[in-house]
Structures are given as structure tokens and as C-alpha cells.
Structure 1
Amino acid sequence: MESGLLDTAAAASLCPAVGGPRRAGSTASFLNCACSSRDCRVSASYSIGRMLSGVRSAARKKLFRNDPADLLGISNWLDSSGTGGHHHWWTALENNFVLEASEDEYGGVIVDADRLPADTAAFARSLTASLSYWKSVGKKGVWLKLPADRAEFVPFAVKEGFKYHHAEEAYVMLTYWIPDEPCMLPANASHQVGVGGFVINDQMEVLVVQEKYCGSLLDGAWKLPTGFILASEEIYTGASREVKEETGVDTEFVDVVAFRHAHNVAFQKSDLFFICMLRPVSSEIKIDETEIQAAKWMPLEEFVKQPFIQEDHMFQKIMDICLQRLRKCYCGLTAHHVVSRFDGRASTLYYNVEEPEDVNCSAA
């Protein structure tokens, strides 16, 4: 049998009168049983029970209830003669117990979030039996995505041993690692990505902002427009977008002049922050009043002399790099679109070009 749990010999042991070919295109064997006795039905249920021997005793009581023949309503599949028509008992087991799932890249399964049971009792029974089945066939990890409208399922999954992986607005993802060995499932995303735009015009003025909500150390300070990259957004487009949203000024990306890597920042995540040099293509300022107090073009010299820059080694170093870039003594990382044969996906590779004139930079 393709399910790997019940071969023909085992099926024959359920009833002395088993016959009938496998239905074309089906992954389960549909066997007819001519036996009409209650003993036959009990024997069948017992044999199926042995296949689920990995399920805890308490769980098996839930599965088989009072009547051994009543396997999640298996008596409903038995006609008045007890033959069961064209349905095999394992079909009832497979359709009612094992959660719908597909293979993942790590030897495990991904549960189909769109085909979960409708109520908690059915989900609890199915999850227990599914874990037993996946263990018996050598699966490793289980990905269980529970939509917001199935939030009541979470306690049952946690009780079975599932661990939280990550959560989004519409769902929570849980995982279960089966083997008694270190978990090989990839962890949740560990970083957030931010950008800052260094925008300077022909009059050597820097585009700066004052934020409405900031720490006391930056109270009253003029800083570069900054923000976070959105999902599936490029660094260079994110930098221009943030500048546009906060100040109303349109810009063109030039290059990444530096980036900072910090740890244990918001929500204990690591943080990547990219400083991008941008060329202004407009000058009129129109601030986003929800988060920006003010914005203006400030002379570069005045901007650099601010105490929060002069007294902070990191900010001072960032400004030194930006000034070196303006003097054409430093080359930043420009964006280049590439496609890898490894996965066939388009991506952006940031690097220095070999010919300095390509970025108007005199330093090789």
C-alpha cells in the first residue's frame, strides 16, 4: 500500500474475505469485505489500532471511543450487511485523522492551513494521530501555521510540544522537531533593516529633519531622514521612499557609503542600518506631520558641528565617510541587478565598480 502502513497481507488479516483491485489513481487501497460479522469489524478496528500504536493510550481512547468498530464514525461507512461498500477502514483513518500536509525542504511536512479541522476536538484528535503517523514514516519537522480565526487551536498544539516560531498579523507559525537530535529547521528572522538618506544639493546643503518622537539625546537635533525597509523592498528604493515620505523631496540613489550592524536592539533583534548617498531631483519640502516635527536644508558645515555628531564616535565616523565621498576620495557600493543560477531569482548585488568614472569617484 502506498501509504506505507498497511500492505496487502496486513489488509487480508483484517478479514478472511478480502478482495478487489486498487482503484485507479488512488493512493489508498479500497478493499471490499464480504464478512458481515461484528467480529470482523472488531478485528479490523483492532488492526488499525495496532498501526497507531505510537499514539498515547489516552489519545487512542479518544480515537476508538466506546465501540472498537466506531473509528471516528467508521460505523457510518458500514452498510447494513457490514461490508462497508467500496470504503476501506484505512480510508476513514486517513481522511479523518492525518492532517493534510505537503513535503518541506528539510525532510518534514507543512500542514495545509486551509484544510484544518473545523473544531478544537477534531483538531486535537487529528494532531495527536498525525504526529504518531509522521513519526512512524520518518518525518523530521512539522510546520503548523494557524490563522487568526483558528487561534483556539494554539493551546492544543503547545500541549503536544509545538514551539512558537514567528507570528504575523494574520497567523502564528509553530514548529515541532521529531528526531532526538539538534533541530535543523531554520530559525525566525533575526534582523531588521533600516536606511538613512544623506541628501546633499549643489549648495552643499544637507536635507535634515527633526522627529516628533525621539529619545532625549536627540531632542532638538537635526538628523538624516531614516526608516525601515518594507517587506520585499530594495535598500536603494527604501532609502528614497523614506526621504520622500518624511520630507516630500524626490531623490535618486547614488550608492551605499557605509552600514552599521548592531545587536539586541528592538525586540532583541539584530539591526542592519545602511547609510545611502542620494541625489536630490526636487527641493520643495513638505513634511509628514504624523512623525516629523520639521525639515529643512541645512549647510553641511553647520550640520556636522552639531553636538550629537561631534560627541558620538559612530555618527562622527559616518560623517567623515560621507565627506570623503563628496571629495571623491572614497567609493561607495552601487546596486547591480543579477540572477543566480542557484535559484534562478533576480537579486541586487552591491559592490564597487572597477572603473572609478562610473560613479564619478577618483579613488579606486
Structure 2
Amino acid sequence: MSVLNSLSHVNNMIRSLPKLSLLFFSARKPHYLATAQRFISQGRTPTSRVKIGVATTVSIRSKSTSTISSAIVSETAAGDQVQKINLLTSTDDNYGGVTVELDQPMDSTTFISTLRASVSHWKQLGKKGVWIKLPIHLASLVEDLVKEGFWYHHAEPNYLMLVYWIPDSPSTIPPNATHRVGVGSFVMNEKKEVLVVQENNGLFQGSGVWKFPTGVVDQGEDICVAAVREVKEETGVDSEFMEVLAFRQSHNSFFEKSDLFFVCMLRPLSFNIQTQTLEILDAQWMPFEEYVAQPFVQRSELLKYINDTCLAKMGGQYSGFCPVSTSSNFSDQKNYLYLNAGTLKSSNSS
């Protein structure tokens, strides 16, 4: 063989090395073989890219070893080597996390693949907490989320919120709301009679105890508004909110939640009683002394303090907290600051 022929043979072997190497790699990983053969036959060098969503194209990176982001399932576009990965649509929160509001139905396999790819993507971005709001019509995906490491945070009538903590550090995701807010209304007319009710269900059912109208503050409702509403619902009496006389905090009261209870003073605007039969057995205007003399009231240390406060208010020796409409840096919506307006006014004028 001549020297020229020998050099030509060596060059041909060198040019064939990438193809041979690719075939060798594909033989160890059979699912790459078809792609490798196609590139060899076309004389092309394969490149590997991942398209995120429909706009972002990035290079493939090494896969995480964490359970939830151990794999990124991708699809190879027909006639192209670019791999497309669908991510869950998310919005950033103010604490380094993301929130996802699911809406469109997905089968379990597609959802898990998309979820794992999304969490891996968020991990690369340095995100922390993941909040997934799952509407009730997608409740079938709960099991998939729990298996991937998510846990329940809270539930509402039309959705369930699940959360996940990405970093290898203690979670700082805040717990669900810890308190329920209640109101009790002290309503007294000019005859020194107090508006009282008997309940036909709950703890006082069948006890014969007369008590102030009480209730729970609704979500988004102000304390002063709730007190007026509860009096109207239970007794039919219209009233005007005056002051918060006192409040009490207790624990482990309602589904293991804590409780804030505000004793409010209201001025009656009407006096005709129309009892709400669903919750209230009876209602009446009762002399305050008669109300206080009830054995149940006498045995309660809490009610004694409340009644003493009401008596002091009646005698002009006590001032509660009036609602003052204010704004804040955290919301454009007006809210109420409860304060001793009389004392503050006197202090400012001196």
C-alpha cells in the first residue's frame, strides 16, 4: 500500500470516530439508537436541547436526585431533535415561592410528568415553597400530589390547597389560619333592659340560660359589622355599633383552633323582637339585674368580669374601643383600628 493510500485510510477512520462513538453510546442506551442512526445517515452531529413551555430553550442539565424532581419527562418533536417540556403555569409570591392555580383536567401520567418537570425547574431557579390550589373538580389529582410529597394546608368549599417545600432545610411555610373570631353583643335600652336570647341548639340547648346574642365573624367582615348583623339575624332588632368593651382569647375551641371573642356594646335603633327560629328558641328584653342573677352567670368567672365591665360602662366609669376607619401600606382597602377615642382626644387637646 502506498503512503498516500495509507494516509487516506487513516483520515477516513478518524472522520468515522464520532459516528462509531455515538453508536457505541447508543448500544448501551437502546432508546437513543434510532436517533443516533438517523443522525449518522444524515451526516449530522446530534445536539441536545430542551424547550421550556413554548418560548424558552435551554440546554439539558444533570437531573436532580430528589424524589419529586428525579426525572424530567420530555417529548421529542416529530422531525426535530428539540425536546419540549410542559411546565405548570405559576406566579411568584413575595417569599421566594410560587403559586399554581390548576384549572384544566389532566390524566394522572401527564400531570405527574408535568409536576416533576416544574418542581425541577423551580428548584433550579432557587424557589422555596410551592402552593398548588386544586379546585374541587380536579380532586382526582390529590393522590398524585400527596405521593409526590405535597401535604394539605387548608380547604375551602370549592378548593383544596396543598404545599411542598423544595430546599433541604426546615420548612418556613406558615400554618393555616389559627384563630376563629366571635362577637357577643351587649344591647341595652333606656329602661336598663338588656337584649337576651335562648338558643335551641349548641351547648346551651335546653339549659334555660339567657345570654347575649353571639356569633362568628365571616371572612372579610369587620367586627363592628358582624355584631350588628348577628343581633339583627337572631332577634330582628336594628342596632348601631358603639364600642368593643373587652375581648378574650381561648385555645383548642373549634377544630383545635384558637378563638378570639369580642364583647361589643350596641345601641338599639328598634325594639320589636322577631326571633330567628332556626337557631333561637326565644328572645326578650330583660332587666340587667335579672340577667346577672342567673345561677349559670353567677358561677362563671368570665361572665362576672364581662358584667362588671358592662355595669361600669352604664355608670360612665369605663370607656371601650371605638372603630376608626384607617388605611395602611399593605392594602388599598379601608380597615378599622379600635381605640379609646375619648381618652385619645383629651390627650391630644391637652
- Taking structure 2 as the reference length, the TM-score comes to 0.79
Q: Which residue of 2 aligns with 1:263?
A: 251
Q: Which residue of 2 aligns with 1:89?
A: 82
Decide whether the 8 Å contact of 2:68 with 2:116 is kept in 1.
no
- Rate the CA distance shift 1:356–1:56 in 2: closer, same or farther, 3 A: closer
Which digits, 9 at most, give the CA deviation of each residue in 1:216-261, with x for residues without a partner? 6971100000000011111011001000000000000010001110
Write the distance in 1 (CA, Å) between the matches of 2:38 and 2:188.
89
Q: Which residue of 2 aligns with 1:107?
A: 96
SS at match of 1:176: strand
Query: Is 1:304 aligned to 2:289, yes or no?
Result: no
SS at match of 2:267: strand
- Taking structure 1 as the reference length, the TM-score comes to 0.76
Q: Which residue of 2 aligns with 1:44?
A: 48
Write the distance in 2 (CA, Å) between the matches of 1:105 and 1:215.
43
Q: How does 1:1-364 map to 2 (within 5 A)?
A: 37-38=38-39, 44=48, 50-51=60-61, 53-54=63-64, 63=73, 71-72=74-75, 74-76=76-78, 78=79, 84=80, 89-90=82-83, 92-93=84-85, 96=86, 98-114=87-103, 116=104, 118-215=106-203, 219-355=207-343
Equivalent residue letter for 2:98: V
Write the distance in 1 (CA, Å) between the matches of 2:206 and 2:306.
17
Which digits, 9 at most, give the CA deviation of each residue in 1:174-227, with x for residues without a partner? 111111223222221000000011000001111100000132697110000000
Which digits, 9 at most, give the CA deviation of each residue in 1:83-124, with x for residues without a partner? x3xxx825x22xx2x21111111111111323x552222111
Q: Which residue of 2 aligns with 1:11?
A: none
Equivalent residue letter for 1:89: V
Equivalent residue letter for 2:38: S
SS at match of 1:264: strand
Task: Report the Cα offset of residue 327 of structure 1.
Answer: 0.5
Aligned length: 302
SS at match of 1:51: coil
SS at match of 1:37: helix
Q: Gapped runs of 5+ residues in structure 2?
A: 1-35, 52-57
Q: Gapped runs of 5+ residues in structure 1?
A: 1-34, 64-70, 79-83, 359-364
Which digits, 9 at most, give the CA deviation of each residue in 1:3-30, with x for residues without a partner? xxxxxxxxxxxxxxxxxxxxxxxxxxxx
Equivalent residue letter for 1:219: S
Larger strand percent: 2
SS at match of 1:100: coil
SS at match of 2:341: coil
Task: Report the Cα offset of residue 148 of structure 1.
Answer: 0.5
SS at match of 2:152: strand
RMSD (Å), alpha carbons: 2.8
